[in-house]
Structure 1
Amino acid sequence: MFDIENFDPENRLNESAIYGLLNLDVDRLLMIAKKIKDKYSPSFEACSIISYKTGTCTENCSFCAQSSHYNTGVNFRKVSSEDVISKARLMKNYGSKRFSLVSSGRGPMDAEIDEILPIFEKIKNEVDIGLCASLGIIKERDLIRLREAGVTTYHHNLETSRSFFKNICSTHSYDERIETIEAVKRAGLVPCVGGIIGLGETFEQRVELAITLKNLEIKSVPFNILIPITGTPLGGIKILDKSDVLKTLAIFRIVLPFATIRLCAGRENILGKYQKLALNSAANAMMIGGYLTRPGEEIEKDLELIRNLDLIKV
C-alpha cells in the first residue's frame, strides 16, 4: 500500500512500488497525486507554441498527421517570422509564460538554424516570454547557438516507452531521442520531454515512460493524449477512456513530484469538463492557443478554466 503520509520525494520509489500503483483505483491515485502536487508543485503556468514549418516530415511516426508517409490532408506550409513574433506577443498577453517555435522534420539543416535564430533574438528583445524550441534531432553545436539566441528550453518528446517505441516508429531509434536529450543538457538548455498516451501501449508501458523521465531528471513534461488522425496507421484506434487518462496522469505526478506536467493535445476532446480535475489533482501547466495541426480550445474558454483553478498562478 502506498504510504502518502511518509512519502519522501527525495528518496526515489523503487520500480516495484511504482508499478504497484497500478493496483490502486483512479480516485485513490488522484487523491495521492493532489497531496503531492499541492506540497511540491503547487504553482501553475500556461505555455504556447507555433508551428513554424508544418508537414512533409520524413519520419514515419504512426500517430503523426505531418508524416510524408501518410495521406492525412496536411499540406506543407511555413509561416513568416512576423507571424511567429506576432503570436508570441499575443500569447504573452493571454498569460503564457513560455513560447515555443516548432518545426516539422527529422531535424534542422544549417540553413534552417540560420533562418530561425534571428526570430528568437527578436522575440527575446521585444517580448517578455520564456523561449523554447522544438526542431527534432539536433546537433549540440546548434543547441548552443539556440541558447545564445535566447532559447532556454528545448522540447524533444520520447513519445512512449522504450519497449513500445518500435511499434510507432522505424525511421529513427529511441537511443537517438535519448542522445538528443543528453545533448540538450550538455548545451546548457532545459530539456522538456514527455509523450503521448493512447498509442496502443499498456498501462505498464506508460509507467515505464514515467520511470525513464524520472531517471533522466526531466522537470518539464508535456502530457498528450492521442486523437486518432485519419490516414495514419493509428487512425482507427480506440480513444482512451477519461478514467485511464486521469489514472496515468496521477501516476506521472507521483513518480515526478517536482515536475511541471503540461496538459497538452487531446485534453479538450478526451477530458472535457474533467480538465479541471486533472489540473487541480496532477498537472500544473497547460498549453493554450492551439497545437501543431489542431486548433485546440477557444482561448477564452481556456482562460476561464485557468481562472477557476485551485492553483497558484505564476
Structure 2
Amino acid sequence: MKNIVSSLLEKVIEGNLIDANEALELAENAETTELLEASNKIRNINRGNLVNLCGVMNIKSGKCSEDCRYCSQSAYYMTNVKSYDLVDVDEVVEFAKKYQEKGVNCFGISTSGKAFSDLNKEKVYDIYKALSRETTMRLCGAHGLLKEEEAYRLKEAGLCCYQHNLQTSKEFFTEVCTTHFYDDRMNTIKYAQKAGLDTCSGGIMGLGETMKDRIEMTMTLRELNVMNIPVNTLNPVEGTPLGDRPVSITREEVLRNIAIYRFIIPKANFIYGAGRVLLGEEQHMAFRAGMSGIVVGNFLTTPGNCIEEDVEMLRNEGFMLTSDKGSYAI
C-alpha cells in the first residue's frame, strides 16, 4: 500500500490538486527526506532547473500607520529603522542597474505605508517609466493596498507584477495586524490581476501561527491564482511585539513547509525571501525542497547575502539563472 507521500506525489504528477486535509496529513505524517525528494521532483517537472534572481529596494521607509506586529517600519513601535521619504528617480535607476549587471532579472521596489494612495503617486509612476527605459528587468512593486484605477496606471507606467503578501491565514491575521482587514489584502490582489498585472504574494513563518494556518494561506493563494509566492521566516526586530521572542520554527520545519507549499501549488514560482539566515549553511536545501526563486542582496530593512555567493550556491546545486537564458519564469 502506498504511503501518503508517494500517493500524493502521484496525484500531483497526474495533474490533480491536493486539498487542505491531504496537505495537513502530509505535514503530520510524511518522513522528511522522502517529502523533500518528492517536492524536488514536482519542482523539476514544473519549473525545470531555472531560478529567478530578485532584487529589492526600499524607496520609502518607516512611519507606517499600520500595526503589523513583525514590522520594523510601523510607527507604533520604537525600532532603529531609518525613516525617509520617496527617493529620487535617478537613485532608483542607478541602484537597479547595479543589480541587473549581476544577473538579477526581477527588480522590486517597496514603499512603507498603508496604501498606494498615500504616496506621491506621480513620482512613483515616473520611477517605473524610468526603470522601463533604462533596464530590461521585470519590474515588481509593493506599495500597500491598491485601488483598481491605480493598478491600471501602474501597469501603464511599466509595472509587471504587484507584490502584496497575505502573511498568514485569514483566521490568524487579526493576531498579526488590527489596522486593516484580510479582505483588503485579497481585494488588492484582485485589482492588480484585473488590470493585467501578475501578482506576487506569500507569507511569514514563525509568527505564532499553526501548520493549519500556513496551509490555509497557501490554499487561498491558489484560489486567487497567485503564481509568484515569497516564502519568508520571521526575522525578529527589536522594538516590535515579536522582536523579543525566539523564532518558533526549526530548520526542518521550514524545509517541510516549503515542500508542502510545492505540493499545494505545483507550478508556482516559490521565492526564497527574508529570514533565510535561519537555515545558515543549509540554505541550499531550500531548493532541494522546492524553491525556484530567490531574493538576493539586502532585504527591505535587514542585510542579506552577497549576490555572488548566492549565485555560486545555485550553480553548485545544478541550477541555471533565468537571466542566462534571456527569459523570465513567472
- Asked if TM exceeds 0.5, the reply is yes
- 1:263 counterpart = 2:272: yes
Match of residue 27 from structure 1:
33
Match of residue 57 from structure 1:
64
| Superposition deviation, residue 303 in structure 1 | 2.4
Q: Structure 2 residue aligned with 1:275, among 271, 279, 283? A: 283
After superposition, residues 1-314 of structure 1 pair within 5 angstroms as: 1-2=4-5, 3=7, 4-8=9-13, 10-22=15-27, 23-42=29-48, 43-78=50-85, 79-109=87-117, 112-239=120-247, 240-267=249-276, 269-314=277-322
Match of residue 328 from structure 2:
none
Alpha carbons 2:61, 2:84 under 8 Å: kept: yes
RMSD: 1.4
Cα deviations across residues 55-81 of structure 1 (Å, max 9, x unaligned)? 000000000000000001113113322
* Equivalent AA in structure 1 for residue 83 of structure 2: F
| Cα distance in 2 between the residues matched to 1:129 and 1:52 | 17
SS in 2 for 1:218: coil
Match of residue 326 from structure 2:
none
* Equivalent AA in structure 2 for residue 37 of structure 1: R
* Equivalent AA in structure 2 for residue 70 of structure 1: Y
| Cα distance in 2 between the residues matched to 1:132 and 1:259 | 16
Alpha carbons 1:280, 1:310 under 8 Å: kept: no
| Superposition deviation, residue 6 in structure 1 | 4.4
Aligned length: 313
Cα deviations across residues 18-70 of structure 1 (Å, max 9, x unaligned)? 21111213222111101100111222110111000000000000000000000
Cα deviations across residues 154-173 of structure 1 (Å, max 9, x unaligned)? 00000111111010100000
Cα deviations across residues 260-296 of structure 1 (Å, max 9, x unaligned)? 00001111x2011211111133101000121110121
| Superposition deviation, residue 137 in structure 1 | 0.2
* Equivalent AA in structure 2 for residue 27 of structure 1: T
| Cα distance in 1 between the residues matched to 2:245 and 2:210 | 14
| Cα distance in 2 between the residues matched to 1:298 and 1:14 | 38
| Cα distance in 1 between the residues matched to 2:319 and 2:32 | 21
SS in 2 for 1:5: helix
| Cα distance in 1 between the residues matched to 2:133 and 2:230 | 27
In the superposition, the TM-score normalised over structure 2's length comes to 0.92
* Equivalent AA in structure 1 for residue 264 of structure 2: V
Provide the identity percentage.
34
Alpha carbons 1:224, 1:263 under 8 Å: kept: yes
Alpha carbons 2:63, 2:73 under 8 Å: kept: yes
Which blocks of at least 5 consecutive residues in structure 1 are unaligned? none
* Equivalent AA in structure 2 for residue 72 of structure 1: T
4+ long deviations beyond 6 Å: none
| Cα distance in 2 between the residues matched to 1:101 and 1:266 | 19
| Cα distance in 2 between the residues matched to 1:149 and 1:179 | 21
| Superposition deviation, residue 258 in structure 1 | 0.3
